Chains A and B, each alone.
Chain A
Amino acid sequence: MKVLKSTLAIVTAATVLGISGLAQAGATLDAVQKKGFVQCGVSDGLPGFSVPDASGKILGIDADYCRAVAAAVFGDATKVKFSQLNAKERFTALQSGEVDILSRNTTMTSSRDAGMGLKFSGFITYYDGIGFLVNSKLGVKSAKELDGATICIQAGTTTELNVSDYFRGNNLKYTPITFDTSDESAKSLESGRCDVLTSDKSQLFAQRSKLAAPKDYVVLPETISKEPLGPVVRNGDDEWLAIVRWVGYAMLNAEEAGITSKNVEAEAKATKNPDVARLLGADGEYGKDLKVKKDWVVQIVKQVGNYGEVFERNLGKSTPLEIDRGLNALWNNGGIQYAPPVR
């Protein structure tokens, strides 16, 4: 029924474009405030990024990003409703106004940013790259040995293009089998339909943790592409774009300044550091510029956490995914996460 559902969603979205009125700057924030929640597009189930737990609550770094936006806009991180979208549905859902933010491990590329009526916020939630997951029984040590392999890919992703580029570039042959959902790809890898499952590396770790025998599978060392994942909004509403972008920067700045969900309230009252005072709204009206609450950063950090906390909670060493910060560490800590200042 998933297929029917997704086709229906796309057709509906196309129809909505046909009959709906025009979008204007500021319209999204107004609409969000009026309805009282942020409608957030997340994945159809990717551990660490957005996946429902036993009670149906969506967990993950992508989901938390939307919660942080809600905390900034409403002062309440629970005012989010999630739409689970597969890779094929995601852009149409955003274009047609079904969701306000698409926070769904989506790679920023120029064509998506400029040609599809969408705008990437510019904040990168997670710097990723494509890798390969193979059965260790195959004895493959490097992606260069994958000539002639059958590869399972999720449909409608940049992975489809990047895998093809890599194999063409290295003069290797392959057969792609594309599935709508990551679950189907994983099932096909286990059954031996494909030799290799390929996706963003973070997803491979997540997929592997879901397999029946995770120990039998290895992620190959190569990373064959750049996949900067970040939230996306509709084109033409700069005000909303700014909010979504600066929520991310605020979380990074909070981590850099050592402000955590535990100490944020105390810091907001007692800080002597002018940088922190500006960030937490004790000094200046930076929240007002963005048309969000004056204490927006306090609310984000208190209710959701700073970037490091969100990362550790969803992806870090304490989770089954055990992903290193790597590129996603702060700039002064060996990574490339660097946020412009709030001032």
Chain B
Amino acid sequence: MQTQIGAPKQKLSFSDPKVRAWLFQIITIVAVVSLGWYLFNNTQTNLQHRGITSGFDFLERSAGFGIAQHLIDYTESDSYARVFVIGLLNTLLVTVIGVVLATLLGFIIGVARLSPNWMINKLATVYVEVFRNIPPLLQILFWYFAVFLTMPLPRNSHNLGDTFFMSARGLNMPAALAADGFWPFVASVGVAIVAIVLMARWANKRFEATGVPFHKFWAGLALFIVIPALCVLIFGVPLHWEMPRLAGFNFVGGWVLIPELLALTLALTVYTAAFIAEIVRSGIESVSHGQTEAARSLGLRPGPTLRKVIIPQALRVIIPPLTSQYLNLAKNSSLAAGIGYPEMVSLFAGTVLNQTGQAIEVIAITMSVYLAISISISLLMNWYNKRIALIER
């Protein structure tokens, strides 16, 4: 008999670091999965035992209550699923408006903090120190109860040229309704945008080939005004306005921004802008002064120096912490439950939870929504960050 001689058989041994690594990973996974399973199973058993209805069937049942602000059509006989969508849209509305306004305000304050003008500089500092050091919920309550609810009643509302009315019921404004020229107008704006893109391409090409600059901005602006204006002349006005007027208890007609929305957006904007201002300031300060001097010595004028040298480098420092601020704003919008703005938490995790009693499902859905919103913001900002990041060779 011949014994076969080959490579020595690999024995599974605990002293082998590879085996150990695998083992620990397997143990971890098993532990996590079984803990999850235990929680799920135990919850199920408990719910069943206590006779609490579970599952997601409730989403199809009709809700039966009214909602103050809905961006899509809604009547009381619509389903809880539609209520969920309304809550989600209301949350997104505040988040989007808040992010845009906070970014604008934050950039202005941030630049103002670096201003050589003593007055502007100090005002910006005071702004930042005051608003970032007061809890956001207090700010929301302040804007709501102390500012917007102290406005006069609709009959005595602050009247801006018979078009805008500010009262304790919110800001009433004319509604824009589509007129005959609406679709041609939309098309003409599209044509203008295409024309601007083509013009910019041509200008860039010529600049690279010949070095002759072209007034892209002014030409673009002209295109943007002239094409739609022609369209209006030919097809008529795109919109007509429906004016708000007093009838009975309140204004009818027109659009209204409810005070809950105003207070929430304002509070979150003002609060988040204070943080963004600091981020912008630190971003700009992180670009060394040598960069400015180098750009100047190359013959760049102050405008292009700022746009092409300073800001691109500052953005690299600004974007990552800015993302966190956007996430904070999205999550802070849930504080609206305190003033009755019908967003996710107050509408879905509040009213719907209470009417159905299905706490676990409702809270799980609500949490996943915030997770989804936050991850989307995060992904978007990471993508943007990658685009502007220093490309290293």
Partner of B248, one of A111, A148, A161: A148
A166 to B66, CA, bound (A): 11
User: Whole-angstrom distance from the CB of A136 to the nearest CB of chain B?
Assistant: 14
A177 to B355, CA, bound (A): 17
**B220 within 8 A of partner (CB):** no
**B302 within 8 A of partner (CB):** no
Interchain CB contact under 8 A, A178 and B39: no
Question: Which residues does chain A contribute within 8 Å of B363, judged by CB atoms?
Answer: 10-11, 14
Interchain CB contact under 8 A, A176 and B67: yes
Interchain CB contact under 8 A, B149 and A17: no
Partner of A156, one of B42, B152, B153, B353: B353
Question: Which residues does chain A contribute within 8 Å of B252, judged by CB atoms?
Answer: 148
**A124 within 8 A of partner (CB):** no
Question: Which residues does chain B contribute within 8 Å of A187, judged by CB atoms?
Answer: 145, 149
A160 to B76, CA, bound (A): 10
Q: Provide the B336-364 mask, 1 if CB < 8 A to any CB of A, else 0.
A: 01111010011001110111010110010
Interchain CB contact under 8 A, A155 and B350: yes
**A23 within 8 A of partner (CB):** yes
Interchain CB contact under 8 A, B340 and A235: no
Interchain CB contact under 8 A, A18 and B42: yes
User: Whole-angstrom distance from the CB of A65 to the nearest CB of chain B?
Assistant: 22
User: Whole-angstrom distance from the CB of A235 to the nearest CB of chain B?
Assistant: 4
User: Whole-angstrom distance from the CB of B345 to the nearest CB of chain A?
Assistant: 7
Report the count of interface residues on A (CB-CB < 8 A).
60
**B65 within 8 A of partner (CB):** yes
A91 to B359, CA, bound (A): 9
Q: Known interface pairs A116-B357, A193-B168. Does A178 touch B346 (Cβ–Cβ under 8 Å)?
A: yes
**B217 within 8 A of partner (CB):** no
Name the interface residues of A112-162: CB closer than 8 Å to any CB of B: 112, 114-118, 138, 147-150, 155-157, 160-161
Interchain CB contact under 8 A, A180 and B357: no
Interchain CB contact under 8 A, A150 and B249: yes
A156 to B349, CA, bound (A): 10
**B68 within 8 A of partner (CB):** yes
Interchain CB contact under 8 A, A148 and B247: yes
Name the interface residues of A146-200: CB closer than 8 Å to any CB of B: 147-150, 155-157, 160-161, 163-165, 167-168, 174-180, 184, 187-188, 191-193, 195
Name the interface residues of B47-79: CB closer than 8 Å to any CB of A: 47, 49-53, 64-68, 76
Interchain CB contact under 8 A, A3 and B338: yes
Interchain CB contact under 8 A, B337 and A180: yes
Name the interface residues of B5-49: CB closer than 8 Å to any CB of A: 39, 42-43, 45-47, 49
**A202 within 8 A of partner (CB):** no
Partner of B66, one of A20, A163, A234: A163
Q: Known interface pairs A187-B149, A191-B150, A235-B50. Does A91 touch B354 (Cβ–Cβ under 8 Å)?
A: yes
Q: Provide the A12-41 mask, 1 if CB < 8 A to any CB of B, else 0.
A: 011001111011000000000000000000
Highest count of chain B CB atoms <10 Å: which of A6, A88, A176, A177: A177
A165 to B149, CA, bound (A): 28
Interchain CB contact under 8 A, B342 and A164: no
User: Whole-angstrom distance from the CB of B60 to the nearest CB of chain A?
Assistant: 15
Question: Which residues does chain A contribute within 8 Å of B346, judged by CB atoms?
Answer: 155, 178, 180
Partner of A160, one of B137, B150, B351: B351
Interchain CB contact under 8 A, B340 and A155: yes
Interchain CB contact under 8 A, A17 and B43: yes
Interchain CB contact under 8 A, B43 and A18: yes
User: Whole-angstrom distance from the CB of A24 to the nearest CB of chain B?
Assistant: 9
Question: Which residues does chain B contribute within 8 Å of A195, judged by CB atoms?
Answer: 249-250
**A343 within 8 A of partner (CB):** no
Partner of A177, one of B260, B338, B354: B260
B→A interface (CB under 8 Å): 39, 42-43, 45-47, 49-53, 64-68, 76, 137, 145, 149-150, 152-153, 167-169, 247-250, 252, 259-260, 334-335, 337-340, 342, 345-346, 349-351, 353-355, 357, 359-360, 363
Listed from nearest, the 4 A-B pairs whose CB atoms lie closest are A156-B354, A116-B357, A117-B52, A117-B50
